[in-house]
Structures are given as structure tokens and as C-alpha cells.
Amino acid sequence: MKRKVCVVITSRPSYSRVKTVLIALKNNPSIEFQLVIAASALLDRYGSIVNFIEKDGFEITARVFNVLEGENLTSMAKTTGIGILELSTVFDNIKPDVVITIADRYETMATALSASYMNIPLAHIQGGEITGNIDEKVRHSITKLSDIHFASTKNARENIIRMGEDPEYVFNTGCPSIDIAAEIIKNPVLNFDLYKKYGGVGSFPDISNGYIVVMQHPVTTEYSESKLQIELTLEAVYSQKLPVLFFWPNIDVGADGTSNGIRSFRENKKPDNFHFFKNMESEDFLKLLFNSKCLVGNSSVGIRECSYLGVPVVNIGSRQTKRERGINVIDVDYNLDLIKSSVYYQLNSEKRQTDFIYGNGKSGELISDLISTLKLRFHKTLNYN
Amino acid sequence: MKRKVCVVITSRPSYSRVKTVLIALKNNPSIEFQLVIAASALLDRYGSIVNFIEKDGFEITARVFNVLEGENLTSMAKTTGIGILELSTVFDNIKPDVVITIADRYETMATALSASYMNIPLAHIQGGEITGNIDEKVRHSITKLSDIHFASTKNARENIIRMGEDPEYVFNTGCPSIDIAAEIIKNPVLNFDLYKKYGGVGSFPDISNGYIVVMQHPVTTEYSESKLQIELTLEAVYSQKLPVLFFWPNIDVGADGTSNGIRSFRENKKPDNFHFFKNMESEDFLKLLFNSKCLVGNSSVGIRECSYLGVPVVNIGSRQTKRERGINVIDVDYNLDLIKSSVYYQLNSEKRQTDFIYGNGKSGELISDLISTLKLRFHKTLNYN
Amino acid sequence: MKRKVCVVITSRPSYSRVKTVLIALKNNPSIEFQLVIAASALLDRYGSIVNFIEKDGFEITARVFNVLEGENLTSMAKTTGIGILELSTVFDNIKPDVVITIADRYETMATALSASYMNIPLAHIQGGEITGNIDEKVRHSITKLSDIHFASTKNARENIIRMGEDPEYVFNTGCPSIDIAAEIIKNPVLNFDLYKKYGGVGSFPDISNGYIVVMQHPVTTEYSESKLQIELTLEAVYSQKLPVLFFWPNIDVGADGTSNGIRSFRENKKPDNFHFFKNMESEDFLKLLFNSKCLVGNSSVGIRECSYLGVPVVNIGSRQTKRERGINVIDVDYNLDLIKSSVYYQLNSEKRQTDFIYGNGKSGELISDLISTLKLRFHKTLNYN
Amino acid sequence: MKRKVCVVITSRPSYSRVKTVLIALKNNPSIEFQLVIAASALLDRYGSIVNFIEKDGFEITARVFNVLEGENLTSMAKTTGIGILELSTVFDNIKPDVVITIADRYETMATALSASYMNIPLAHIQGGEITGNIDEKVRHSITKLSDIHFASTKNARENIIRMGEDPEYVFNTGCPSIDIAAEIIKNPVLNFDLYKKYGGVGSFPDISNGYIVVMQHPVTTEYSESKLQIELTLEAVYSQKLPVLFFWPNIDVGADGTSNGIRSFRENKKPDNFHFFKNMESEDFLKLLFNSKCLVGNSSVGIRECSYLGVPVVNIGSRQTKRERGINVIDVDYNLDLIKSSVYYQLNSEKRQTDFIYGNGKSGELISDLISTLKLRFHKTLNYN
């Protein structure tokens, strides 16, 4: 009898991040793979991933709309409550042997809680990392609900064990997002027509002589500042006179502050070197990063994938604070002059080497192997003595 | 401006356990006290506490029905989801400055999650304990969502710190349930008419020459065995020929197995020395315990309050495994002969001394003082270096 | 392409009532049949029907736990809300072409509302009847959400049309519950061992010389009176000195009042001619009715099936007020003497003839034929001019 | 003891429409007024009304976020389910004697269902109207749940009675929205700085020589066509060379098609005579209408308020089909030439007289008087014989 392994995807970035895990699970002959799509992963506003998923050859076992409108903290909590209510019904109907939850966005707690309350063994990808931001609460709380841990780094694995988890169930598998980076690096040519394939709005600058990529998410607990923050970043890259490829942030409290900042920048400056994208297939995005001169913003891709790709990064603000990083990253506060000078420095620096801190490119296979063979259990105790 | 402190009570045992905290909060002049009653605390089937609460002079700020029927794991998960959905609305409307959640029953997670997702500082009573049962998942997961920790023992405090919490926000306050025991011990006379005041069914044995108290809860993950387990306990105490005061268990998966076991025992044996109670005010219950010859079952009261009261306890099965205990407790498996002989041993042993392991009787005051004066915050990071 | 027809069953009585519809849908080659089981139909407390369903050869497409505990009006409303939330997800995943909802219990509104809000054509069985009780609100409200109406009587069809529905979509199909009665009447021998097959509690009276059947549901809006009412009925049938086969009522507000009444009757009278059943397969139940001397209580089975079976009925109180009935029924208030004398009268009267008021026994087939061939639509307007 | 009257507002248009009722309730000395704000009324995206409400001097008793994201039919159904779940808790906590629900938007069903399931007498404003659109299902379904009916026209009252409601509880009060129109007509001067007060985007045409107002909502069941429809309207008014004041539609399925249509029109045409508003206080809006040359679109304001104000209206498409109307309205399909010529005709026609079809301007007072004095009940039966 095949082991039923269920992955719940709740956002676009999560899908990209674990795609190699999904492929490995689907191809594993001892696994019956179940894929549930929920929350912002289904919403057009943040770029529904349903089309990508089907194009990638996956079947969707169930889909659940559970994002409550409001873009405030109350609606985030309620979204999680609805997610639990509904995912429990899904699990009761499809009866997985083990559930995999990913990272630390607030909706992932719904997956973790439903599974663990239903005594379904729970595996967690990307636990144990110290980042200094509000996501740590969710991340470590999920660790304490999880039975199996697939950490992305040596340090993360050690943190999980220090929190009292049984070392036999804590693995440093590397981060699955690095698997895709490892593929990209073998053939990084930009073999698609950027503007035609991805639409978007703004100007259509010629990128053949180099360009900057920007991806900046609002920070959950600093709602009112998100407008100011995006304006500083926009101004700083605007001043560099290079083409800028700008990616809209995904859902979170503060999204509207950020959106408004972008809109007024466009109306006031009418910049002729900016193009704005809503979303992009992850492989294409990594190619774009690999060929860029610099990534600016606060995306975790700058810390993870770019360490492997060797792309220079200007990482702004507190969102990635404390996260382990390679030497490709310069950290900077929300200060116009500092952002400007850091971007300038990175634009003029040499490409760095691949850093294996976040994995060696085989993470998906390793997770699939482990999940199909591990002795499953849902009962544990604090491993202190 | 008074600090708004909100306590959410989701079950009858939780209410009893923290009653001295509630009194201290209500009497604290720098606090505006908010009391929310939800989940099984509202249900007649498990002894609604609303009447007790009003009799005790508290006002209810809001009440929320959120227990889903089914008495299975799916319904427990869904109850939690509904709880989050609704408590978020309550918090959005009453805007507490800090929320207190209690212990580790599955519904308490709803309180913890709503508060922490809404960036309301969260305080947790009774975290950090190692018990070996399934409740550890919820307990430690709540620890990772909480900003302030009121641990009941020295060991529990140390465990919380080892899990990465900031020691400045982790306090060994003792357990508030001990406060009531400390009051009782000053005047332990049974000054009420037991059968008249509390009704119940069964015979009406004369208890003036000693009696046994039984309180045994079904164990969440052993649904099918709960009927057998209650039958062993009933048989074992039945054979001692002493009056038995038996308390119905509170809500949990398996409740029906336990209920059926009790019902068939009554029909088959028609015992003339058993009386069955649904619930009892906590003070009266502690007096009853103090004057009893022995407590049998798996209730945490045997571990906590009875350590202070010095009551001999036969603790059966895995429910309290690994919990710190005083010398008043004998542990035994679900084996008829072992339970019989252990009860026999305890019935013939001397009263033990008060053990201060779970507190000195001032816990409620201490928690109220701390919560009204501590610098509140809702942002933290794993305290490892 | 087969038409996807989805039936949502939310209670045991609904399942029995429409079983011939389910069989006809399953056997209809132009239909892909989808069966969703939800609400009290899943709960052991009310006799889960899942085993019966599987024994009857149906596959369950999805199941949804959505009954909120409390047995009060608030919990009934909330149960409906959760039902809508979850059935919408189910419909979104299984995409029916048409949904069938049944009768007028409060949970059926969840089915009706989810389907109609999702622009899925909605068919309603048993609309249009005037009963004088609180269920009329739900019944007629569902009529106004429904696109296709399968009424059980000529009068009911006319009422639906008077409410403004398009006569082309309102059919008098007869009531599907009559189909089973029509089968039973062909071979009514009690070919099963009553007490062995169905367990239950109480005495085991010999029924070979005649017996009374009792089935009395609490009345939604008269919560506090439900205890008194059941006591009057129990006393009245107790005095007849015949064996009494008593069936527990299904879920509703007031269930606890009724339960307590039954329990105190058993403890006080210790009757030796009563046996209490929790539930029974519908065919066996109809055989039992057909061979009984009288049905006492307020069940709709007395009005519907018994009119076809010709069983004498004493119908007590307001629950079936205004419902169309055959000459087999005597109506009586909650008055001990009146109930006694009416039961006495019916016990000494001759068997009546079959009355076709509620159908001719072909309702299931007719509904299946119509639903597979009708032009479906979900848009309508008040048909007045 | 004052009668507790609760109104639940779920959208901005509902608030404007019943504002005179709210004022009358608040000022009625025999009423304790409870105001609950929920659903899209709380969302910034559709113009949160919380600020207006507080400015108007009302206190909010409770607020409930319950709009699920997705802007599709599934999310509309789920929004209603969440609404029921939460409003039941609100009603359980604030215990109204009677609840008022408004009109026929999908969220109003949550109010109606919670109240009627909880046996709280329910009053419905604006029932009984025939409009030919999908809203009829909700409207008439709510009628069958309601105990008291405040119809807006003589015909509507008659329709409600024909549906089987007791004539003693069906009143033609006129429409409360007319009350505001009646006030406006007494002093219709545009005494505010339009662009300064309401912001918005686009050009700033001089409106002193006449202007057109456009308000067009997407039609629920024609999702894919909403983009085309808005484009036709935009083109038709664009060609008239007059200033156009355009109002964004409120939330509904199809909102995104409409939004995209508006955005591409702005980008392609860069019109210098269009200004786009998000929302406006209702009094100012009515003044703006009164002074306009013509209203174009499909808003019900064209049918109701404009009949009293005597404003020429071009009503496009099916949204207001079958609704009773005055002679101020020209109906037209989605055909560019027909819209153009109809607008041209209306621009060149004389002002019409006030038509009292929708009320005489005293509706709010009348409803408040009735609700404070009527004998309340929650039990009814189909009034046919």
C-alpha cells in the first residue's frame, strides 16, 4: 500500500520554493501524492498558481478559498481559523498518512494545526531558522507541532534540536529552493521574451546591458511605514539610471500601503526605465536574477537562492534580520543615501562564488526519500533530560 | 489609563484552576478585567460554569459557542478553527492590551493563535511542563506563540528558557490551583450537604467513615480503549468496599467510550456504594479531596493540588506520565490487580506532608502584579547564541 | 456527458425518506451521482447513517462535520453557517450540475444557500406544505431559493405556484417515503429478530399479540415544555398495558428536556413493557409500523407513510398541525386523558385503507427521470402579473 | 423596558439607503438602538463607512469582518456562512428584541438567517419587489424568513401578501432612501468643493455648465461580460463631450472585469472630461444627481431616488429589469448606438416632476414608529386558505 503524502500550498512563493519536492513526491513509486491548494495561492490578485500547477503536470486534490478580506491583523487570524475548519474536512475526506507544511507564513499554521490535532504525522520544511522578525512565532510554534523536520541549514537543525525535538527526526536536507537554482546555473540563458510572456505595466527598457531586479514585501508589523519604505527603495534604484524590473509583493498586512507607494511613484515620476511584473514562473525568475547586476529589496530569495547563484544583493530593513547569509549580501537600513550607495557598490562588484550554506541542489529528492521511508509517528515529548 | 487584561476560559477545569488569578485581576486597581467564556465551559453536558462565574461575582464580557459535535479528532480541530474565527472578532471589538491563555487543552490554542496573530501580547499559564502525553504538542506550541510565561515549577521555567524564550519574561509563579488548596487547608471541614447540594445519581453511601474519590478522563489518542480503562478502575475501587464518589470526565475524544463503560457498570453491578457527580465547585471539591482516604484516576488534581493537600493518590495510566510529582502519588498501569493493590496500599498509609513543588499559595496575586506592571511586547526572537 | 446530480443528506430521517430517489439516481445511466453526508447524519448520538449507506451500496463523495454543540438556537444558526462555509468548498471541488435538497430541517438551508449562491440549479423535495410549525419558515424560504420543485401533494404544488414559482418547474411527484411503504405492503412479515438486531435498552416484551409504537420529537420553540410533553405520552401509553416500542427522537433544541423525561420515567416506573430503540433501518421500521396496533407521538411518519400503510395514529400536539392527512389520524392535545382515550379508541378500531394523498409509490423514479432530462436553469423571477 | 432594535449594515449603499431609519430609531425614546457593521461596509476597498457612521453620531455596537476573498460565487456563499456564524454570536451577546435586515444583497441573508433561526423577530426593508435579476432569489427568500415587512411600494406590498404573508404585518412604508431625496430637494445647492472633498482620479472638468453622472455595477451572473459592458457605457458618454463624473461600483462578482475595463479606457483614451470617484456621502451624491443633466448606468438610485428628484436616467441592461419605475427613465440594452442616442435624448429633455411611487419622504419615521409599537412574534404560517 502506498503511503499517502499530502502537501498544502497556500501561496505562490511556497509553490516555487518546494516545486522540486512536489516533483520528487509525484515520481516516487511508493507514494500516493495529494496536493491541496488554498489561501492566497488561489487568488488572482496575488497571481493564482493554479495554471502553473496544471502546466507543471500536477493534479489538484482539493482547493480551499479561505482568505478573509481586510488586510489587517484580525483578518489574518480569521483566515487561519477558516483554514483549519476547512482543511480538517479535507484531511477527513482524503485521509493522508503524513502532511507536509512549508515555512512560516501565517496560513501555514492552519495546515500544521489541522494535521497535528487530527493525529496525522506532520513534516515541516524550513523550520528552525532565526530571522528576528514576527514570522519566528509561527515558525517555531509549527516546529513544536511537527513530528518530522526538514531544516535548510546546519544551524537551523541545531536550533530545532535545542528546542527539544528528537534529533532522529530532524534532518538538514538543504532548502528545496536551491534545487531549482542548481538547475538554472547549468543553463542560465534568458530564452524567453520577457515582456511578451509576462505582460505587466510600465516602460519596456532594453535589458541587454544589465538591469536591477527589485522585490520588496511589506513588513507585517510596520503597516503604516510600508508606503514610505517602498518609496525609498524606488527612489534609490531610480537614481541608478539602469533598467529596473520590479515585482509586486505578495499578500500581507500593509500591502495597500506598498501598493499606494508604487502608484504615486509611477504617477509622479513617470519613470521610463521601470517595468512592473505581477508574477513569474520560478525558473524564469531565477534566470532573470542570475543575469541581473543586483537584487534590491527584502525578499528571502536574496538570502537563499542568490547565495547559490552568486548574485549581489542589497537587503533592506529588518525582514531578513538574523537569517544566515552568504557573502553576496549587503545589509542596509531604510535610509535613502545608504540604499543608493549600497546598490552602487553592488553594481560595480564582481560576481561571487556559489555558497552551499542553503543546500547542494538535491533537497527535493532527499525529502521525498525520507518521507516515504521514515517510521511515522504523531506522539512526542520534550527531549530534555 | 487602565491596562485591559483579557482571560479566555474554555473549560470548567480551567476556570477552577485560575480562579485566584481572576479574583486578583478583578481587584487590581490598575487593571480593566475582561472575561471571555467559550467552548465546553458553556455546555451543560460538561457542567456549564456560567452560573458559578456569576455567583463568584464576575461579569462575562463575551461568550462564544464553538464546540463542534462529533467527539472525534476532526471535530477537535474544527472547534479550534471556529474558536479562532470568533475570538478574533471578540478581540477586535474589546481590544485587550494583553491576553492570558491557560494550560494545554486543545481549545486554548484558539486563544493563543488569535491573540498572537493580532499582535496582542500573550501570557501563558502552566507552560513548560513535561508530561509525556499528546498535550505536549499544544503546550509547547503555545509557548512559542507566547510573550510572557507564568510557569508552575522551577523545572517548567527552565524548560521554557531552553526552548529559546527570553528569561526576563519567564516566571516561576507556582500554579494558581495551589492557591485554593492553601485556603482550604486552613479550614477543611465539609460544611455542606454533599448529596443535596450537588445532586447526581447512584446510591447515597455514608461517607463519615472514609471514602474514595475517582476522577478519570479518557486519553485523547486511545479512543477505543477508554471503555476498558474506566471499567478496570470501577472494578478496582468497587472491590475496596468503601464509599466511592465518582466524577464524570470532561469533554474529549473518547468521552462516549468512557460514558458507556460507566453506564454498563451501573446496570450490571447495581453498586450500593457509588455516587456519581457531574461537577462541583472547586473549593468544595478540594475539601472533599482533603478529607478523602485516596484519589484514584488520572486527573492532574492528583499531581498538583493533592501534593499540597497531602492526599494519597493512585495515578493510573499514561495521562500524567513524566509530570513532576510529590511523594503522595503511586503510579500504576491499567492492570486490575495493580490498581487494586495500589489503592489498598494508599488506603492504609498515613497522610503525607505539604509539598511546595507546585507553589506556595500566592500565585494569583503574583500573576496579577506581574501582568499589570510588566513592559508588554509582542515581538521576540529565538534566544540562542 | 453525464449530468452530475448531487444530493446532500444531513440527517437520518432525510436519508430514509429519499432512499428510493438515491437508488433511482444511482441507477440512472445518464446521471453521475454525488452523495454528500453532513451534519447530524454523521453523529453517533443520533445514529450515524454511514454504515447503512455503505450497506445499501452507495459511495460517499464527501462528508462534512458541522453540528455545533449546545442544543440551543444559537448553535443551530451557527451549524448552518458552518455548513454553508464547507458545502461551498465541496461544491467548488465536485462541481455538480444540479443539487437536491430535502424538506425543511434547519441544516437543509445550508445546502440550499450554498447551491443557489453558486448559481447551481437547486431542486427541492417536499416543499409547499403547510404545517403550522416553525419549520415553515425554512421550508418556504428554500422554495424561494429553488429552481425545481418536487412537491409531495397536489395542495403543496399549488401553494408553491401561489408563492410565485413557475408552474413548469413545479411537479407533484408524491413523497419518496411512500415508495418504501409501497414496497413494504407487498411483503410485511417481520422477518428479523427485533431485539437482537437493534439492541436498545429496557424490557423485552413479547410483541406477538400486538404492540404500540411511540415516536415523539421535541418541538423546536417549546424547549421548556419538552420534558412535560414526553412524560404525558409515556404515562398514556404505559396505562394501556400493551408492549411499547419507543424510539428516541433525533437532534433538535429541547432534546435534553425530552431525554430527561424519558430517563426519570424509566427510573420511577421501572416499566416492564417498554423497550427503547435508538434507530432502525427504514424498511424494518415500516414493517414494524404496519404490524403495530397504533403509532403514538408527533412524527411525520404518522401522517405520511401511515396514510399509505393504513396504520391508526394518535398525533399529539402542534408539530404536524395543518399538515394534510388521511383518515387514519386522530389529533389530540397534550392532555393525559385525551391521549389515553384516543389511543384506546385507535387500538380498538379496524385497519384503514391505503390513501394515495402522499403518492403512489413511484416517486423516486419520477424525480430521477425529471432531474436527468429537465432543462436546467438558476435564474427566475416572481411569476406574478 | 426599552425595546432593543438591532440593524445590521453590510454595505455602503445599505447605509445610505436606511440612514433616516437609523436616525429615527436612535431618537425614538422607547427604543434601545443597536448598530452592527459587517462585511464590505468595513472594507477600505469599497469605501469603509465607519468614519461616516461616527461622523453621523452613531455608536457601533459590534463589527464583524466576514468577506472572503476571491470575488467569485464560491466566496460569496462562504462570506454568507461566516456571517451567520459570527452574527449568531453577536446576537447571543447583545440579545436584540427585533432585528432589521435590508434589501437583497447576498450578505443580508446572513442577518436574516441568524435572526430567524434564533427566534428573534425579523423585519425586512424593501422586500417584495420584482426586478428580474438574480437578487430576487435572496429578496423573496428573506421575505419567507421575515415576520415584519416594510415594503417600498404598493405593488411590492401586494406581492409579499400573495407570497403568503399575513397582511397585518406587511406595510407600505415607502423607501427610506426617498426621505433623503425629499430633504435634498428643499435645498439642492452644491455647497461643497467636489474635487477637494472627495479626491478621486482623472481630469477636473468644469461642471458649472452641466454634467453626466455614471454609476454602473457589474451584473452578478454575467461575470465575463462585465468588461465589455463598462466599455460600451464609457464610450457612449465619452462621445457626448460633457463632463462625466464616474463612480466606482461596489463589491460583487465581476468587479475585476469592470475595473479592468475602466483602467484600459483611461489608458487608451486619456479622456480629459472624466473624473473618477470611489464614494461620496449620500446627501452630497443626491445633490450632485439633482443638478446633473442625466444619470447613466444601472444603479437602483436611478429608479428610486431619481423618480422623486425628477432626474432623467438612461438605465442600461438587465439589472433593474421589471422594477417599477417613474417616467424619468429610459431603458436600453448594451448597444453602443442605443446608449448614445438615449443619453442624447435625455440630455435634451426637460426636468420631470416628482413621482411618489417610492414614498413620500417620511419612511424612516414610520418604520421606527411601527417597530417600537408592533406586537412582535417569530412564528407564522403560510396565509393561504
Phi-psi bin for D212: left (phi > 0), alpha (psi -120 to 50), beta? beta
**Smallest CA–CA distance from B384 into chain A, residue:** A159
The Cα B276–Cα B200 span in angstroms is 5
Q: Quick one: average pLDDT of D275-296?
A: 92
Model ipTM?
0.85
How close A354 comes to chain D (CA, Å)?
41
| Class at the top of the CATH hierarchy for domain D186-358 | alpha beta
Nearest CA-CA distance, residue B64 and chain A, Å: 14
Residue C202: closest C-alpha in chain B: B267
In the sheet where A62-64 sits, what is the strand order?
A: A62-64, A31-38, A3-9, A98-102, A122-125, A148-151, A170-172
- DSSP letters of D90-145? HHHHH--SEEEEESS-TTHHHHHHHHHHTT--EEEES-S---SSTHHHHHHHHHHH
Question: What percentage of chain C reaches a pLDDT higher than 90?
Answer: 76
Q: What is the pLDDT of residues D317-374, one digit of tens each?
A: 988 888 899 889 999 999 999 999 999 999 998 767 889 999 999 999 999 999 999 9
Sorted by sequence, the CB contacts under 8 Å of residue A42 that are 6+ apart come out as A48, A49, A50, A63, A64, A65, D70
pLDDT at C224 over 80: no
Band the pLDDT of D131: cuts 50, 70, 90.
Answer: confident
Cell digits of residue C177: 417515503
pLDDT at D47 over 80: no
Residues of chain A with Cβ-Cβ distance to C65 below 8 Å are: 89, 92
In sequence order, what are the residues at sequence separation of 6 or more whose Cβ sits closer than 8 angstroms to the Cβ of residue D164? C140, C159, C162, C163, D144, D382, D383, D384
Identify all chain B residues contacting C75, using CB atoms and an 8 Å cutoff. Answer: 65
- Judge whether residue C339 has pLDDT over 70: yes
* A216 phi/psi in degrees, rounded to 5: -135, 120
Do residues D88 and C81 make contact, with C-beta atoms less than 8 angstroms apart?
A: yes
Please check whether the two domains, B3-175+359-373 and B184-357, share a CATH topology: yes
* Contacting residues for A267 by C-beta, under 8 A, at least 6 apart: none
Q: How far apart are CA A240 and CA B309, in angstroms?
A: 75
Q: What are phi and psi of B276, to 5 degrees?
A: -110, 125
pLDDT of A295 over the 90 cut: yes
Give pLDDT tens digits for C47-101. Answer: 678 888 988 999 999 999 999 988 789 999 999 999 999 999 999 999 999 999 9
pLDDT band of A218, cuts 50, 70, 90: confident
- Per cent of chain D over pLDDT 90 is 76
CATH of B184-357, one of 1.10.150.120, 3.20.20.100, 3.40.50.2300, 3.40.50.2000: 3.40.50.2000
The phi and psi torsions of A68 (rounded to 5 degrees) equal -85, 135
Residue type for position B142: I
Average pLDDT over residues C280-292: 91
Cβ <8 Å between A43 and D67? no
* Average predicted confidence (pLDDT) for chain D: 92
With a cut of 80, say whether residue D252 has pLDDT above it. no
Alpha helices in B295-357 (DSSP H): 300-303, 305-309, 336-347
Lowest mean pLDDT among A270-284, C193-207, C248-262, C366-380: C248-262
B226 three-class SS: helix
State chain B's mean pLDDT as an integer. 92
> Which residues are CB-contacts of D225 (< 8 A; sequence separation ≥ 6)?
D219, D257, D334
Which phi and psi angles does A105 have, rounded to 5°?
-65, 155
Query: What 3 state SS string does D69-94 have?
Result: CCCCHHHHHHHHHHHHHHHHHHHHHH
Q: Which three cell numbers stand for residue D323?
A: 422594477
Which positions 47-76 of A are in contact with B (Cβ < 8 Å)?
Answer: 73-74, 76
CA distance A297 to A331: 10
Longest Cα separation, chain B: 64
Chain B residue with the nearest C-alpha to that of C75: B65
Q: Does A285 contact chain B (CB < 8 Å)?
A: no
* Position A319 pLDDT exceeds 90: no
Instruction: Classify residue D348 by its DSSP letter.
Output: T
Which residues are registered as beta bridge partners of B62? B36
**pLDDT over 60 (residue C255):** no
Select from C35, C38, C255 the least CA-distant residue to B74: C38
> Which residues in C lie closer than 8 A to residue D222 (C-beta atoms)?
none
A216 forms beta bridges with: none
pLDDT of amino acid D253: 44
Show the cell assigned to C305.
Answer: 407513510
Task: Output DSSP code: residue C68.
Answer: B
**Which pLDDT band, with edges at 50, 70 and 90, does C141 fall under?**
very high
- CA–CA separation, B259 and B248 (whole Å): 8
Element (H, E) at C152: none
Longest dimension (CA), chain C: 64
pLDDT recorded at residue A47: 64
Number of cross-chain residue pairs from B and C with Cβ atoms under 8 Å apart: 45
Task: Choose among D92, D379, D384: nearest Cβ to C134.
Answer: D379
SS3 of C213, please? Answer: strand
Inter-residue contact B332 to B339 (CB < 8 Å):
yes
Q: Could you give the CA distance from residue D63 to residue D59 in angstroms, rounded to a whole number?
A: 11
Q: What are phi and psi of B380, to 5 degrees?
A: -145, 170
Place of cell 501580547: B121
Average pLDDT over residues A152-156: 96
Measured distance CA(D253)–CA(D231) in Å, rounded:
17
Residue A222 pLDDT grade (very low, low, confident, very high; cuts 50, 70, 90): low
Query: Residue D117 and residue C85: Cβ atoms within 8 Å?
Result: no
On the question of pLDDT at A254 being above 50, the answer is no
- A134 touching B (Cβ < 8 Å): yes
Residues 6+ apart with CB under 8 A from D118: C73, C74, C76, C77, D88, D91, D92
Query: Which of B162, B378, B380 comes nearest A164 by C-beta?
Result: B162
Q: Locate C183 and state its grid cell.
A: 414496497
Taking chain B (385 residues) in runs of 10, the rounded mean pLDDT of each run is 96 89 97 96 79 91 92 93 96 97 94 97 97 90 98 97 98 95 92 92 93 87 75 94 90 64 89 92 91 94 93 92 89 95 91 87 97 95 89
Residues of C whose CB is below 8 A from B68: 65-69, 82
The reply to whether the predicted model has a pTM over 0.95 is: no
User: What integer pLDDT is reported at residue D223 of this predicted model?
Assistant: 58
Pick from D69, D71, D74: CB nearest A68: D69
* Residue D254 pLDDT level (bands cut at 50, 70, 90): very low
CATH code linked to domain C3-175+359-373 = 3.40.50.2000
Q: How far is C95 from chain B (nearest CA, A)?
A: 24
Answer yes or no: is pLDDT of A230 > 70. Answer: yes
Please determine, for residue C241, whether its predicted confidence score (pLDDT) is greater than 50: yes
Question: H or E segment at A264?
Answer: helix A255-269
Count of helices and strands (H, E) across chain C = 15, 14
**Which residues in chain A have Cβ-Cβ distances shorter than 8 Å to B89?**
74, 78
CB contact C280 to B (< 8 Å): no
Determine how β-strand A62-64 pairs with β-strand A170-172: unpaired
DSSP track, D309-336:
HT--EEEESSTTTT----TTEEEE-S-H
Ranges of beta strands (E only) in D253-304 are: 274-277, 294-297
**What's the rounded mean pLDDT across residues A280-292?**
91
H helices, E strands: number in chain A: 15, 14
Task: Fold for A187-357, please state it.
Answer: Rossmann fold (3.40.50)
pLDDT reported for residue C254: 47
Q: How far apart are the first and last CA of chain B?
A: 38
| Lowest mean per-residue pLDDT among A27-41, A242-256, C165-179, D169-183 | A242-256
pLDDT tops 70 at residue C252: no
- Please, are residues B151 and B128 in contact by the beta-carbon 8 Å criterion? yes
Cell of C149: 420543485
Between D249 and A163, the more confident residue is A163
Domain boundary assignment for chain A: 3-175+359-373, 187-357
pLDDT at C253: 44
* Domain at C184-358, CATH from 3.40.50.300, 3.30.70.360, 3.40.50.2000, 1.10.357.10: 3.40.50.2000
- Which residue, D86, B239, B333, D289, is CA-closest to A81? D86
Sorting pLDDT into bands at 50, 70 and 90, what band is C351? low
**The C-alpha cell that represents C285 in the structure block:** 421500521
